[in-house]
Amino acid sequence: MMVGTRYVLLQDGFVFKIRGSMILILVVCMFGVHVNDVAAKDALSLYDSSRPKSVNVGALITFDSVIGRAVRPSIQAAVDDVNADSSVLQGTRLELYFHDTNCSGYFGIVDALKLMEKNVAVAIGPQSSGIAHVITDIVNELHVPLLTFATDPTLTALQYPYILRVTQSDYFQMYAIADLVDHYGWREVVAIFVDDEYGRNGISVLGDALAEKSAKISYKATLSSGASESEISDLLVQVNLMESRVFILHVNPDSGLNVFSVAKNLAMMSEGYVWIATDWLLSVIDATQPVDHGTMNLLQGVVALRHHIPSSDLKKKFVSRWKNLQYGGNRSLNSYSFYAYDSVWLAAHALDSFLNNGGNISFSRDPKLSVIKGSSLNLASLSIFDGGRKLINLLLGSNYTGLAGHYQFDSQKNLVRPTIDVLNFVGPGYRNIGYWSKFSGLSVVAPENRDSRNKSFSDQNLYSVIWPGQTKNQPRGWVFPKNGKQLRIAVPHRVSFLNFVSEIKDPPGVQGYCIDVFEAAVSLLAYPVPRTYILYGNGKRNPTYNNIVQDVAQDKYDAAVGDITITTNRTRIVDFTQPFLESGLVIVAPVKRSKLSAWAFLEPFTLQMWLVTLAFFIFVGAVVWILEHRINSEFRGSRKQQLMTILWPLADFAGSAFRRCSIHIVRENTESTLGRLVLIIWLFVVLIITQSYTASLTSILTVQQLASGITGLDSLIATGDPIGIQDGSFARSYLINELNVAPSRIISLKDQKDYSDALDRGPANGGVAAIVDELPYIEVFLANVDCSYHIVGPEFTKSGWGFALQRDSPLAVDLSMAILTLSENGELQRIHDKWLGIFRCSDQGDQTEETQMTLKSFWGLFLIIGVACFLALVCFVWKVACQYCKFNSEDSSEEIEPTEPVRARPPLLHLASIRELMVFVDRKEEEVKEILRSKKGSSRGGGSNGSAV
């Protein structure tokens, strides 16, 4: 009897798939053979519910490769460890099938089909992104999960539902490189990569990552998989002609070292070069330990990345027993060895969960293959894994810690905490200079030792690097191309204001302020700048500066040097250096000398100010007279004499401010404390007023007045008169586009002679009301015409002059630093004085109204003296009232008590009382005190006499 698979229908209607041996048991029972019924039932239950004895697992790798030699023993060791662990799969064994893809897409397809014939539940590998791409359709069609080591970022796309990467994606590696480039301030790199899916897709991500850091790949150099040394040499010679000296090397591990060997022969591993290698390099070095001395000499100064494998006890135990493993292949470990070992355990745990949840390792025929006829290929042997969808979901939900760290996948099927080691090759080995992770960026602290939520800017650093050429000095990252070309510099061919830039006839060349600044800046650079100046324009009119900038942006010139204003629109298409001269648009208009009248001395104060000041002179004098009249003999006498005492001391005090004897005057002329206090405060007020008056009068005597009514930008626009601008200046577009000035009002002027002529004629005679131009031009113009015209109002734009270069030109940063150095050491000012001199024209406008001081400027002072006077008068009145009350009480005590009733006083008696009060106040205080003393003495004497009687 043939033993095979049969389907049996039981009484309850369920169909079971059983083997031939089971049929024999059923036959014996049916024919009455005396078999123990219980044993038979137990046997049925055992066959129905038990797990499969084995599950087939396949591995697709290239045996004879760096990664293949490292992962093959790891996979075999992991399978043996799983089979030896009874806690996993609970007795089900993993049957491992290896297939060699020979690093070929064609053989990868063939071996994948052979592997699928064995009804594998999980496939592991390949390490090649290219092979992974070509076998994706096979695993997708047959629903077999594929745990791959390929790092191509596109393998996580939705079109590959059955592929799961167990390593870190190149997506994160490329972003780590972008952060490195940004960390060192480089803006351009050259990418050298293998021309396949692995190389192209990785470099594509690098371009996006660099763009986010305002950097770019200036040149992409591709290599074939098996490029010869001559092909590599030709490629490196080509890239060595480029500006960038930062090379990103993203190639296959098996041939990558050849690139460094050729680069060494071409002197491209010397000082000034930067080499950054992706994880392929450490895969080679770690898997070939110990590395020979010659290989390490090739790699001196190289910065390389590697998948970070955190230290753990599990990892240490595996490393300690690695050399004792009895498997073929390389005995050296790299990061892929750990990933390969863990991938088997991931598959084992997923299969265990799959079987525990009632999953069945079963396969069914693909109906799509059944319609294919006439082919000798045994396609019918390919079956679909029925539980593939469930198993891949279990794998995606893994939460497992292995040799390479924690395995957990995000929605994009990437490891949730990707981490990169940053290494530097120095001497006989390499050293760790930092780490990169998705959450913390670049740091010297390992991600597992820090809080991933805390990304501090201070942590964004690395340890020092020894660069190619055994130097610690950070390479600049670029040089001028070694192709014999000079820097093409456009220079405006001006016809006016030749101080800034002009042509030299013999020998041919250019000169001027801007040229000297540029030459001085270039001389500070640490490298030569081959250059040639090219005049821009016909020499008959000033060129249009917007056109110069546009031509630089269109690569007709490499740079533009001259009096080029930095504007918003221009910065959108070119890069500018640091401004070497401040600039801004100003208005210049005709002026005339003011004619002074005989009453010019009254102009510093307004009429209101004069009246208030005079009123306070009189008021303070009256207050001082009141305070001093009763105690100071100088404030008594005839009415005429007393009126003079009110005014004369105050005039004396005003003069004393200039004689610096104010304290002496206060002590000599006043006797009361309140009077001295008031005069001291008044002296302070008078001092400030007189000093302000002197300054204002000086300004008025030297001020110039405008010949027209234009006092600033608003009045110029409102007049409707013609406005002059310099030919070729951006002022035209600014007035039209920003200030809405009609183009018909704008007149272009060729040179300084046209400036003077247009201003002198004025708008009524075909001239202009004013000229709008940049401040440096106006300063030179006014200096040449002896300040016959005047700047009106402030600058209404703020900008500067800079040198224009093409976008992302590395020369812009170095020149900016050089310009700052020139400014700090005074060389920039020396060049300015040499060509432009010192601008000496006054910048005052029509300031007659502005220099007149109003009451608003001094009301605080008048308030202080007013309050002081009021408080002094209150104190004085209180003192006099007290004396008067005491004086009256003494008089009433001497009067005899009347015998008849007191009659009401008539109104005339009230007037008499007021006169008595005035007479009392007019008395000297010393007389009043003497009367009170005498009355007090007489009252005492009378009392004693009365008692004697």
Residue (of 748, 767, 745) closest to 756 by Cα position = 767
HSE at residue 493, side-chain half, CA atoms within 13 A, is 13
* 216-223 and 188-194 beta bridge pairing: parallel
Residues in CB range of 276: below 8 A, 6 or more apart: 177, 180, 246, 247, 248, 249, 302, 303, 304, 305
Residue 900 has pLDDT above 50, yes or no: no
Burial 503-525 (b: 16+ CB within 10 A, else e): beeeeeebbbbbbbbbebbbebe
Q: b/e for 17-50, b at 16 or more Cβ within 10 A?
A: ebeeebeebeeeeeeeeeeeeeeeeeebeeeeee
CA-to-CA distance for 82 and 270, rounded, in angstroms? 50
> Closest Cα partner for 860 from 626, 701, 684, 660?
684
Three-state DSSP state, 150:
coil
Position 301 scores a pLDDT of 96
Report the chain's mean pLDDT, rounded to a whole number. Answer: 82
Could you tell me where the beta strands, DSSP code E, fall in 757-867? 770-774, 789-792, 799-801, 804-805
| Percent of all residues in the chain with a pLDDT value above 90, rounded to a whole number | 49
Nearest to 240 by CA among 258, 209, 262, 257: 262
Q: What is the pLDDT of residue 903?
A: 47
742-761: average pLDDT: 92
β-pair type (581-583, 799-801): antiparallel
User: 803 and 815 in contact (C-beta within 8 Å)?
Assistant: yes
Q: Of 711, 703, 840, whose CA–CA distance to 784 is shortest?
A: 840
Higher pLDDT, 462 or 381: 462
Q: pLDDT grade, residue 913 (50/70/90)?
A: low
pLDDT digits (tens, 9 = 90+) for 148-201: 999 999 988 788 899 999 999 999 999 999 999 999 989 899 999 999 999 999
The closest of 432, 401, 402, 408 to 318, measured between CA atoms, is 402
Q: Which 3 state secondary structure label does DSSP give 135?
A: helix
What is residue 123's three-state secondary structure?
A: strand
pLDDT in tens, 768-789: 999 999 999 999 999 888 878 8
**Contact predicate 722/742, CB 8 Å:** no
749 forms bridges with which residues in the sheet?
726
pLDDT: which is higher, 651 or 230: 230
How many Cα atoms sit within 13 Å of 686 on the Cβ side?
20
Q: Is 783 in a helix, a strand, or coil? A: helix
Q: Which range scores top for mean pLDDT: 49-53, 131-135, 640-644, 850-854?
A: 131-135
Residues across the chain: 949
Give the integer Cα–Cα distance in Å for 204 and 224.
Answer: 17
Point out the least confidently predicted range of 311-315, 384-388, 578-582, 644-648.
Answer: 644-648
- Left (φ > 0), alpha (ψ -120 to 50) or beta: where does 883 sit? alpha
The model's confidence at residue 848, banded by pLDDT at 50, 70 and 90, is: very low
The pTM assigned to this predicted structure is: 0.67
Q: How far apart, in Å, are the Cα atoms of 716 and each of 85, 720, 793? A: 93, 7, 11
Q: What is the mean pLDDT of residues 581-601?
A: 80
**Token code pair at residue 503:** 């042509």
Q: Position 517: which residue type?
A: V
Give the up-direction half-sphere exposure of residue 616: CA atoms within 13 A in the CB hemisphere: 27
Whether 936 has a pLDDT exceeding 80, the answer reads no
Return the top range by mean pLDDT from 603-617, 685-699, 809-823: 809-823
**373 or 341, higher pLDDT:** 341
E strands in 717-761: 723-726, 746-749
DSSP 374: S
Per-residue pLDDT tens over the stretch 811-839: 898 899 999 999 999 999 999 999 988 76
Q: Please give the pLDDT value at position 31.
A: 33
Residue 209: name the closest of 248, 172, 259 by CA: 172
Give the other-Cβ count within 10 Å of 704's Cβ: 17
Residue 353 pLDDT more than 60?
yes
Mean pLDDT of the region 515-519? 96
In 247-307, where does DSSP find H-type helix? 256-265, 280-287, 293-298
Non-local (6+) Cβ contacts of 946 within 8 A are none
Q: Which two tokens stand for residue 805?
A: 């270069």
The reported pLDDT for the residue numbered 446 is: 86
Q: How far apart are CA 695 and CA 705, in angstroms?
A: 18
Residue 98 contacts residue 68 (beta carbons within 8 Å): no
Residue 474 pLDDT grade (very low, low, confident, very high; cuts 50, 70, 90): very high
Q: What is the DSSP letter of 895?
A: S
Q: Which one-letter amino acid corresponds to residue 275?
A: W
Q: What is the dihedral of CA 711, 715, 716, 720, to 10 degrees?
A: -140
Count the neighbouring beta carbons within 10 Å of the beta carbon of residue 770: 27
Is residue 704 scored above 60 in pLDDT? no
d(CA 266, CA 237): 8
- Closest-CA residue to 175 (of 422, 451, 458, 431): 422
The tokens of 401 are what? 């810690």
339-353, 645-659, 822-836, 842-856, range with the lowest pLDDT: 645-659
